[in-house]
Structure 1
């Protein structure tokens, strides 16, 4: 009897232990699932057919969340074809990583401009299975609810589906492509490049910017060497020839220009195109793009190796630059030419000169306001994303159209002294505009000669 009681008691205790443990385990699983649901969002994935339907429905918006270099046309993250889905807008996951005190205001403006609103069904696509989800999480925190994920590889792998890219997307280069070159490879669009040189352009001596960190192997170019002080206008042909020879440039080279301040890089790149270097490109996003990609800068000073001859008479491509004489002639034919003033509004209407070292204010009669930045002569808000890459061209071209700037005409871009306009000139080239030039001397070059007419105030319509 005692034995029977002990056996029964043991069975009861075993059952109690099993049930108790099961109850605890189930509770632990429930808690684990709750934690997962609180930290990892799950979004509905859509297929290609659904994306095609969405492109025809105004209640949907298709968003490319990749690096803007991929949106422009580069084949990144292993995609079979470069470019974007026709009709897609851009909102890169990379923008979320930027440290900027005005970040939320800038991103809110981007969402509004691109039509990514809370009432829309939003399809976010990527190629690496993480960018789209990062943007989706960000949007969900802002109150967006109808969010969907799409793998753009499905679209890229179907040759029957169109992908669009900027005609000259390769003119502005992703950091990963530069890194690939430094690793000894010949990536997309560099297959036939002979002499690839990387240079860092900035104003002043090496200690001003270059010494703080630059792309490995790059050597420094002081912008004063192409626009000598105190006028800081484009140097004459003899000076530019010496500049080319001293820095080891030949017409056969492929040159990638980088810089902490991109305007300096674009200024030097435009001069290299003008003198005749056959393949000139710029790191899209400059040094910021390099460090955001996780690559290290170097501080070792690299020196160029001089050459005996550039290989051609400079300038090989004079049409890159409109001289002041050409500008005056073109202003007489507004039916064929548009003079685009890329300064701030206050500079354009003559409230500010834009420069601490120059006090004359106003604009050139006949110029059309083409925007640049909001704050000062070093801002290009209307042409750059928050991570300093080139902005979606449909946005700045849309503004040009509002201002009556016809891209079928000859467009001459200007600013105060050529830096901002050089960057915008390059972006116009990236898009594929052909009949374009840089009025290099800008407002300072024009207004220095008091015989040239100027005006102030808001233009009459």
Structure 2
């Protein structure tokens, strides 16, 4: 199984639209003629509203994914996306990847952006649409139209969709505002904002090569010490919290070069009891893509003497092996295995330091990527969060009941921490992380395991 198995799953309710010609174009002209250098026709809000049931049209949000998720960017009055719109961000076109053409072609198919359809592209800055329109036109798409989403957002009666907990993953522009001393949306009650950088190794490694300004480095070994790299015990986590001067009332933004490490540390910070933990969506690459510079100077942590609560204060967020064993008998519980298909069926362990392969009996395949260090099933090509409809389609294809309590697992907690956070962003809060994952489970030979494709 792979992402290709769901590429034809229909996305919910495509918006449908009619158009009027620009001043120099008549309404009756042949709309299928090739574009001449972004000579896009524009539709009005009224026309958009009056044609929502014509499935020969599709509307596409070309802005950065944070705006699609819910953030009010580019001076748009309301964040989120037009109900039924799919996403195809102009930012994706700037990613340097050998697989970019393949990945973007797959995205077009998955989202139903078909050259036979009339495609309305919208943005709020007048630039994103141009980039995507040029890209599509070069691929033979010629039924392309444009709309300014700012007009839609001005009317409170027109529906826009924001993910319930979109604030948990933040855009670089919002982090920049924080650094500039401003108070961005959703930060009105933030008492003490701290920015940290999560990566493996000491400061001489990734951190020294560049990090978001003012961020303090957290070596992931601190919270999951070698040689087993399992979650540190509560006593060591309490020491970690005081060493960094964290308190339960902090607002912490986790950044870093590897988004997976950021999500791993973010979940641990939530577990110990910090009330407001967020992650830079897309990591350091998103920061640079937004036009901001990384700094290389070392920022030192400031120790504290009182976290303000018992650690852990959010113990239900992380499941232990005994808890998993008991919960697997509960029909209202689902253990979601976010590893590659080959790991899931036991063809490979996924790790150089762990040779046991297989899965926990009862765990449901929850998708991830092609290896233990990738998560392409849940990310866009720029490593931002994939849209919720497509993530939900993955789960539906594995018959994952989202009414159940969902406990996410992988090999040792990194991939699953990211997926757990995305689930929370989407509004699924009856969730947890089985942190020790397959490595922790299979290290005890008394625990049952299985291999092969499940029946």
TM-score, normalising length: structure 2: 0.92
1:435 counterpart = 2:430: yes
The equivalent of 1:367 in structure 2 is: 363
> Which of 198, 222, 226 is the matching residue for 1:229?
226
Per-residue CA shift, 1:5-45, capped at 9, x if unaligned? Answer: xxxxxxxxxxxxxxxxxxxxxxxxxxxxxxxx998321000
The equivalent of 1:15 in structure 2 is: none
The equivalent of 1:107 in structure 2 is: 104
List structure 1 runs of 4+ shifted beyond 4 angstroms: none
1:53 is displaced (CA, Å) by 3.6
Tell me if structure 2 keeps the 8 A contact 1:54–1:61.
Answer: no
1:311 counterpart = 2:300: no
Tell me if structure 2 keeps the 8 A contact 1:64–1:91.
Answer: yes
Tell me if structure 2 keeps the 8 A contact 1:349–1:363.
Answer: yes
The equivalent of 1:380 in structure 2 is: 375
Q: Distance in 1 between matches of 2:98 and 2:434?
A: 34
Alignment map for 1:133-212 (pairs within 5 Å): 133-212=130-209
Alignment map for 1:300-339 (pairs within 5 Å): 300-333=297-330, 335-339=331-335
1:57 is displaced (CA, Å) by 1.3
The equivalent of 1:256 in structure 2 is: 253
Query: Which sections of structure 1, spanning at least 5 residues, go unmatched?
Result: 1-36
Q: Distance in 2 between matches of 1:55 and 1:455?
A: 49
The equivalent of 1:51 in structure 2 is: 48
Instruction: Indicate the larger mover: 413-422 or 38-47.
Output: 38-47
The equivalent of 1:354 in structure 2 is: 350
> Which of 124, 129, 135 is the matching residue for 1:127?
124
Instruction: Indicate the larger mover: 48-57 or 235-244.
Output: 48-57
> Which of 332, 339, 343 is the matching residue for 1:343?
339
Does the C-alpha gap of structure 1 residues 154 and 230 become closer, same or farther in structure 2, counting only changes over 3 Å?
same
> Which of 67, 72, 77 is the matching residue for 1:80?
77
Tell me if structure 2 keeps the 8 A contact 1:55–1:87.
Answer: no
Q: Distance in 2 between matches of 1:58 and 1:358?
A: 50
- Structure with more of its chain in helix, by fraction: 1
1:276 is displaced (CA, Å) by 0.4
Q: Distance in 2 between matches of 1:88 and 1:201?
A: 34
Alignment RMSD: 1.1
Alignment partner of 1:128: what SS? coil
TM-score, normalising length: structure 1: 0.90
The total of aligned residue pairs comes to 422
Query: Which sections of structure 2, spanning at least 5 residues, go unmatched?
Result: 1-33
1:50 is displaced (CA, Å) by 2.3
Larger Rg: 1
